Amino acid sequence: MTQHFDVVIVGGAVTGSILALALSSVSEHKMNIAVVEKFTPDYSTQGGFDARSIALAYGSLQKLAQIYPLGGGNLAELVYSFATPIQQIWVSDKGHFGKTCLSAQEMKLPELGVVVELARLGEKLNALLAQQPNIRLFCPDSVSQLHRTAEKAHLTLASGHALSAQLIIAADGIQSQIAQGCGIETLTLKDYGQSAIIANVKISEPHQHQAFERFTAQGPFALLPLGEKMMSLVWCVADPTTLMAANDDDFLRAMQQQFGWKLGKFQQVSKRFVYPLHSQKAERHTAHRLAIVGNAAQLLHPVAGQGFNLGMRDLFTLSQLLGQAFQKGEDLGNHPLLCRFEQARLADQEKMIASTSGLISLFSCQQLPVQILRNLGLIALSHSRLARRWVANQALGF
Ligand SMILES: Cc1cc2nc3c(=O)[nH]c(=O)nc-3n(C[C@H](O)[C@H](O)[C@H](O)COP(=O)(O)OP(=O)(O)OC[C@H]3O[C@@H](n4cnc5c(N)ncnc54)[C@H](O)[C@@H]3O)c2cc1C
């Protein structure tokens, strides 16, 4: 027997879970929502909630504060309960004179953002999803068939469940099977010729809630504060083979050489993971009875920690539009509504894709005039409060 929902979300990692809770909240917990996720919540090893830590900008926290699931406070409160605040972000060009600092105090904010371990966020979101009477989680399960008629979208799951909905939302990550099944191609925009090595690193000195983004010839080297004396590392290099094969002591020595002693000694490193880096986007973000969000819509270089922050703005806009349509009793898959969503998000998406790619090109260029110009740019930034506020406003997702 077919089970009918208002909305089916495919993909239950950070984007899919938060979107389900946002839709539930905006409809006063009346919208009937299904979430289909491939992996059971062993998030230490699988699914979208992997070993990554991500920085959530202040703008994202403000949006999370407007999402109220049943059985708790708002989602920002949930995040703050285990997150590490960022007070300052230092940006520098390794081996050159330019550097600048963005600070929460200057921006008159309690913090610039927070750092969360995705796996931990996943556990908490999953527990919340299970408590919502109007959200049904199909997990572990996946979509084996999808077809759309004029009035509905129909899904058959690997488990044999048959679902129908007014709208399908693809939150199923890069190379979205759902988008492709609806004839939407994924376009590779740029292969950066870099891979990101991620790990958690124990430090000997307190981090004082500082984050660091250091641009090197091979790619950015970023450290985010995590817990008391830990940093989450994202180290982008052209070829990760040697660093991945190094034993922990050699890896820590290489890190120390790259970063210096500002955080004391790098004492211990967790298991390392590698992500090849490229940017891509779905050629369109809507189709008949379909909307696409999160990594399924676009994938950014992690340079400025903007991937999910952009995804958060996308899912928030979509939830607001769907919430309004739901309150009015409108069809949630109606074409004008989906067009409004796509149009509303286009400029921000294009700006973020262009600016993250631009940063990588600018800081990986080894030509002397470009090196001089970018360092003058960093110095100008460090001397101009107005320019710093402008940059911070972009980074904070306001
Ligand atoms: C090294 C690194 C550092 C980063 N740092 C930051 C940062 O500081 N700040 C920031 O904002 N962003 C950051 N990002 C980006 C951020 O991690 C992503 O934007 C975010 O995790 C994307 O989540 P998602 O839910 O859209 O996709 P995914 O995490 O890819 O999840 C997709 C989910 O869909 C499921 N799925 C797939 N196919 C199916 C199917 N057919 N049926 C059912 N389920 C399916 C998968 O199991 C998975 O759980 C970083 C990324 C990297 C690589």
Summarize pLDDT for 294-348 with one digit per residue, the tens. Answer: 999 999 888 778 899 999 999 999 999 999 999 999 999 999 999 999 999 999 9
Judged by DSSP in three states, 218 sits in coil
Centre of ligand 1 from the C-alpha of residue 47, in Å: 8
43 pLDDT exceeds 60? no
E strands, 104-247, in order: 113-117, 135-138, 143-148, 153-157, 162-170, 186-203, 210-215, 220-226, 230-237
Ligand 1 atom having least distance to the Cα of 234? 1
Fold of 2-82+117-188+278-361: FAD/NAD(P)-binding domain (3.50.50)
The pLDDT value recorded for residue 135 is 98
Q: Is the CB of 307 under 6 A from ligand 1?
A: yes
Ligand 1 atom having least distance to the Cα of 277? 53
The pLDDT value recorded for residue 362 is 66
The per-residue pLDDT for range 190-233, each reduced to its tens digit, is 888 899 999 999 999 999 999 998 888 788 899 999 998 999 99
The residue extents of the domains of the chain are: 2-82+117-188+278-361
What are the distances in angstroms from CA 44 to CA 40, 207, 278, 300?
11, 25, 24, 23
**Mean pLDDT across 148-162:** 97
49 with 121: CB under 8 angstroms? yes
Amino acid (one-letter) located at 215: F
Rounded CA gap, 44 and 306, in Å? 23
The pLDDT value recorded for residue 357 is 74
Ligand 1 atom having least distance to the Cα of 294? 26
Of the listed ranges 61-65, 120-124, 243-247, 393-397, the least confidently predicted one is 393-397
35 pLDDT exceeds 80? yes
CA of residue 376 relative to chain centroid, distance = 31
Amino acid (one-letter) located at 365: C
What element of type H or E holds 99? Answer: strand 99-103
DSSP 8-state secondary structure symbol assigned to residue 295: G
**Mean pLDDT across 269-292:** 94
Rounded CA gap, 139 and 269, in Å? 33
The model's confidence at residue 97, banded by pLDDT at 50, 70 and 90, is low
| Rounded (10°) CA dihedral 9, 10, 15, 20 | 20
Ligand 1 atom having least distance to the Cα of 275? 53
Q: Are strands 220-226 and 84-86 parallel, antiparallel or unpaired?
A: unpaired
Give the CB-side neighbour count of residue 84, counting CA atoms within 13 A.
Answer: 25
The pLDDT value recorded for residue 274 is 94
Q: Is the CB of 55 under 6 A from ligand 1?
A: yes
Of the listed ranges 80-84, 222-226, 343-347, 383-387, the least confidently predicted one is 383-387
Neighbours of 308 (CB within 10 A): 28
Question: Please, what is the average pLDDT of the chain?
Answer: 91
CA of residue 289 relative to chain centroid, distance = 24
For the chain, give the percent of residues with pLDDT over 70. Answer: 92
Burial class (CB in 10 A: 0-12, 13-18, 19+), 138: buried
- Residue given tokens 């750092």 in the structure block: 115
* Predicted TM-score of the model (pTM): 0.93
Query: What is the maximum alpha-carbon separation in the chain?
Result: 67
Provide CB contacts within 8 A for 187, sequence distance 6+.
280, 281, 282, 283
Ligand 1 atom having least distance to the Cα of 11? 34
CA of residue 184 relative to chain centroid, distance = 22
| Rounded (10°) CA dihedral 255, 260, 264, 270 | -10
Q: Is the CB of 34 under 6 A from ligand 1?
A: no
CA of residue 177 relative to chain centroid, distance = 19
Q: Is the CB of 54 under 6 A from ligand 1?
A: yes
Rounded CA gap, 115 and 361, in Å? 26
What are the distances in angstroms from CA 199 to CA 196, 232, 270, 274, 373?
10, 6, 6, 9, 32
CA of residue 15 relative to chain centroid, distance = 8
Rounded CA gap, 83 and 60, in Å? 13
Q: Is the CB of 171 under 6 A from ligand 1?
A: yes
Amino acid (one-letter) located at 143: V
The model's confidence at residue 133, banded by pLDDT at 50, 70 and 90, is very high
141 with 161: CB under 8 angstroms? yes
For a mutational test of ligand 1's pocket, the pick from 9, 21, 37, i.e. the residue with the most ligand atoms closer than 8 A to its C-beta, is 37
30 with 328: CB under 8 angstroms? no
| Per-state percent for the chain, helix, strand, coil, to nearest 5 | 40, 30, 30
The pLDDT value recorded for residue 305 is 81
**Mean pLDDT across 65-73:** 92
Residues in the chain: 398
For a mutational test of ligand 1's pocket, the pick from 35, 38, 306, i.e. the residue with the most ligand atoms closer than 8 A to its C-beta, is 38
DSSP 8-state secondary structure symbol assigned to residue 258: H
102 with 388: CB under 8 angstroms? yes
The pLDDT value recorded for residue 385 is 75
Centre of ligand 1 from the C-alpha of residue 366, in Å: 32
Judged by DSSP in three states, 82 sits in coil
Q: Is the CB of 173 under 6 A from ligand 1?
A: yes
For atom 11 of ligand 1, the residue with the nearest CA is 308
DSSP 8-state secondary structure symbol assigned to residue 133: T
The pLDDT value recorded for residue 235 is 95
